[in-house]
């Protein structure tokens, strides 16, 4: 687009006579090639650096039961996705969550994560609500960890229809309109 704008301005300003058409076309294709090569190289370097821990895009605190956190880390290997796990706040399943929630909030304040992943079964809505309510005071993004069923679907979206939010797992082919 920038090339086309420059070409249009040079034609309107009648300064295109000094430019060789061959040189302009060569510059255009060489520039596009150089930009594509540079982009490919930068992406490769950033991916390699994030996998080796040299670059961590997001600092993450995991909150949930110990077995669920371990399963999450084993399955998704967040360190390969550019996440650095800075801490874990383990919730005990003894019924009294208050001390665990207090500890999770303290850990969140001390470690300054960018994101908090709540690793609990989605069916445990009461516990999820209590955890989220306690962590809302932290200046972080709060994510509900993925359920295993979501791994089967390529493009999962949350769709909001008025006051109702749904998790859209699949759509018919060639569906372009949002609900």
DSSP 8-state class, residue 55: -
pLDDT at 10: 77
pLDDT at 130: 94
pLDDT in tens, the chain (179 residues): 877 787 778 777 777 667 677 777 788 888 889 999 999 999 888 878 777 767 767 899 999 999 999 999 999 988 778 788 999 999 987 778 899 999 999 999 999 999 999 999 999 999 999 999 999 999 999 999 988 888 888 888 888 888 998 888 887 776 655 55
Q: What CA–CA distances, in Å, run from 145 to 91, 137, 151, 171? A: 15, 19, 12, 22
The full 3-state SS of 98-132, as one line of letters, equals HHHHHHHHHHHHHHCCCEEEEECCCCCHHHHHHHH
Element (H, E) at 5: helix 2-12
pLDDT at 142: 95
């Amino acid at each position: 687009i920038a090339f086309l704008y420059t070409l249009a301005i040079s034609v309107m300003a009648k300064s295109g006579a000094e430019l060789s058409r061959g040189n302009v076309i060569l510059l255009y294709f060489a520039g596009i090639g150089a930009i594509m090569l540079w982009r490919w190289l930068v992406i490769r370097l950033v991916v390699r650096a994030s996998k080796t821990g040299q670059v961590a895009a997001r600092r993450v605190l995991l909150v949930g039961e110990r077995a669920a956190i371990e399963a999450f880390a084993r399955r998704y290997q967040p360190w390969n996705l550019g996440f650095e796990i800075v801490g874990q706040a383990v919730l005990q399943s003894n019924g009294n969550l208050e001390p665990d929630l207090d500890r999770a909030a303290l850990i969140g304040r001390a470690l300054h994560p960018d994101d908090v992943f709540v690793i609990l079964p989605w069916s445990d809505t009461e516990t999820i609500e209590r955890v989220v309510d306690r962590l809302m005071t932290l200046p972080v993004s709060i994510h509900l960890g993925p359920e295993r069923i979501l791994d089967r679907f390529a493009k999962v979206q949350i769709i909001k229809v008025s006051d109702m939010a749904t998790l859209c797992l699949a759509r018919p082919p060639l569906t372009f309109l949002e609900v």
